Chains A and B, each alone.
Chain A
Amino acid sequence: MSAPLLQLQNLSKHYGPARAPIVAVADVSLQLHAGRNLALVGESGSGKSTLARLVMALEKPTQGQVLFQGQDLNALDAKNLREARRHFQMVFQDPYGSLDPRMRILHTVTEPLNTVRGLSRQDLRDQAAEMLSQVGLRSSDLDKYPHEFSGGQRQRIALARALITRPQLIVADEPLSALDVSVQAQVLNLMMDLQDRFGITYLLISHDLAVVQHLCDEACVLQQGRVVERGSPQRLFQDPQHPCTQALVAAVPQF
């Protein structure tokens, strides 16, 4: 078996004073292999989003390591971390809050390329146009502003921005939750198409177990910062063992 794309080793994150810390993530170890999507599920406050921020190296862990392609992200200096960031990108829940309203789409989409030297304006424009066409938008959209787009289109723009550095990993935090029902399927289909085309792997944070089951090969159930159960979504959701997983499964609407 090839080396994992992402490896979390005994990862913990505490907030607040050291004598009485609030434990957001407690001793989490997991592996993510290229092409095998992993889901993090759990209640609000279970540590999903903190874990995502640790993976993205937006926060430093209190203990443990985040290894991306074998490289400890927190051991890198600022310059090398910037360089490494092109390989993992993030898409957020709220397509209204995550795009800068005063920035044209061209700048939003090419912003992750700022660390790449030697790209002319025309290069940037060409690459942005290419990415927009990959997510089903037009190159004429490059000069527009976020308010001119619907929620689904904004999520496409967010995906174009995430993809422009050709990352291997995309962390997607509730990417469908804010979208209309008919648009959710379009964006989910797009995520699967992009995976086929670009060989990316998703780390998905979602409360929608049906989406998790559809997209992911493995799921981890988090409770109070710990992984309490893990396995293939099929196994996990058909035969949940931990009370926390059982509660999540029980909350799925039946129709």
Chain B
Amino acid sequence: MSQPPLLQLKDLHVQVRTAHGLVEAVRGVSFSLERGETVGLMGESGCGKSLTALALMGLLPEGAQARGSLQWQGEECLTWSEENWCKLRGNRWAMIFQEPMSALNPLHTVGDQVAEPLRLHRGLSRKAALSEAADLLDRVGIARARQRLHDHPHQFSGGQRQRIMIAMALSCNPDLLIADEPTTALDVTVAQRILELMQSLVQERGMGLLLISHDLGVLARQVQQLKVMYAGQIVEQGPTAEVLTTPAHPYTRGLLASRPQWLRAPQAASQRMRLPTLPGQVPELHQLDQGCAFADRCSLVDDACRTSAPPSILLSPARQAQCWRLS
């Protein structure tokens, strides 16, 4: 009998309240994640990737509703009470957000904040928790960690604050780490170091990692499995290197084609050439109909694309894309 996966999502839908009434922002997302596995969710603004992550943590904003199935080690948790969520969050699974300044409490010392989950979930005394907090801060690369326990968040730089967030997230040795754009607010070289740190900790502890980003370069280096989201759905998925080198869905293909080519061959000829761009814009969620959400921007569009939802095409055992024109 095989163990159920660490995390399994089946047909997750999330509705949010907007000026146009209730609209579905996440429209049937399914995937699973095993311990030790790294999965990336790639998508542009408004594609539903952050709402998916918030639903996973039971942290949906007021008025938002999730349906479908979300299983944690085989147990359904979409219907859980807040009390149940609190036992898991910060303990068995942890989350790192984009903005490390607003995610830390400016009024409490960093030591107390990193120690809090240790006291709450592991019942350590304040003294023991602070001592372990210092070890954690040291592990994530905060210099003179023990002396800095009594400093407040504003006394740290943006990169250091994100390190503190990681220390907090890891304090209870979670099984799953969800990182939503963890480096978007950081300077590029600082971001690189934060990602390397996250990666080494994930490997060291055998955690599952769900990394959410709009940055293909970040995902290319950090995750084994890549899922590309568009308008609330996963439109393509597979091993990261395969998706990025041989993209199948017209959306993924268009995104990759719009990047300036980084070639080792001499290529003065391509300099200042105009890049191919995806025409149009992401559709408004309240205007979506039965057909493929990408149809209006797709160069391969035909009648079937406009009339019904595209089928999921199996490209290889590990790769799928949702597109009429691949069938």
Q: Which residues of A contact B (CB under 8 A)?
A: 43-44, 150-151, 177-178, 180-186, 188-189, 192-193, 207-211, 213-215, 217, 234, 238, 251-255
Contact = CB atoms under 8 A, between A and B. Distances in A.
A251 B221 CA distance: 10
Interface string B239-264: 00100110000000011101111101
Interface stretch (B8-16, B142-150, B182-190, B302-310): B182-190
Interface residues of B, number: 38
B274 interface: yes
A181 B259 contact: yes
B63 interface: no
Nearest to B44: A180
B192 interface: yes
A43 B189 contact: yes
Contact of A182 (B220, B270, B273, B277): B277
B21 interface: no
A193 B183 CA distance: 31
Given A44-B190, A182-B254, A251-B192, A213 B271 contact: yes
Interface of B: 44-45, 184, 187-190, 192, 214-217, 220-221, 241, 244-245, 254-256, 258-262, 264, 266-268, 270-278
Contacts of B241: 255
A180 B190 contact: no
A249 to B, nearest CB: 10
A220 to B, nearest CB: 17
B260 A182 contact: no
B301 to A, nearest CB: 17
A161 to B, nearest CB: 22
B255 A213 contact: no
A224 to B, nearest CB: 13
Contacts of A43: 189
A44 B274 CA distance: 29
Nearest to B243: A255
Centre residue among B189, B215, B256, B276 by max chain A CB count within 10 A: B189
Contacts, number: 85
A215 B254 CA distance: 20
9 contacts: A182-B277, A184-B259, A188-B260, A189-B277, A210-B262, A213-B262, A252-B262, A254-B262, A255-B245
B189 A214 contact: no
A209 B259 CA distance: 11
Contacts of B255: 181-182
Contact of A192 (B245, B274, B276, B277): B274
Contacts of B245: 255
A44 B188 contact: yes
A44 B157 CA distance: 12
| Among all A-B residue pairs, the 3 with the closest Cβ atoms | A185-B258, A214-B260, A207-B188
A238 B267 CA distance: 11
A114 B21 CA distance: 43
Contacts of A150: 45
B42 to A, nearest CB: 9
A210 B188 contact: no
Centre residue among B190, B192, B216, B271 by max chain A CB count within 10 A: B271
B272 to A, nearest CB: 5
Centre residue among A150, A178, A181, A254 by max chain B CB count within 10 A: A181
B264 A181 contact: no
A151 B303 CA distance: 33
A181 B271 CA distance: 19
A17 to B, nearest CB: 21
Given A44-B190, A185-B259, A253 B216 contact: yes
Given A185-B277, A253-B216, A253-B221, A192 B272 contact: yes
Nearest to A151: B45
B7 to A, nearest CB: 27
Nearest to A192: B272
A209 to B, nearest CB: 7
A203 B244 CA distance: 31
A245 B220 CA distance: 21
A255 B244 contact: yes
Contacts of B277: 182, 185-186, 189
B278 A182 contact: yes
B275 A185 contact: yes
Nearest to B272: A192
Nearest to A196: B272
Contacts of A182: 44, 254-255, 258, 277-278
A204 to B, nearest CB: 12
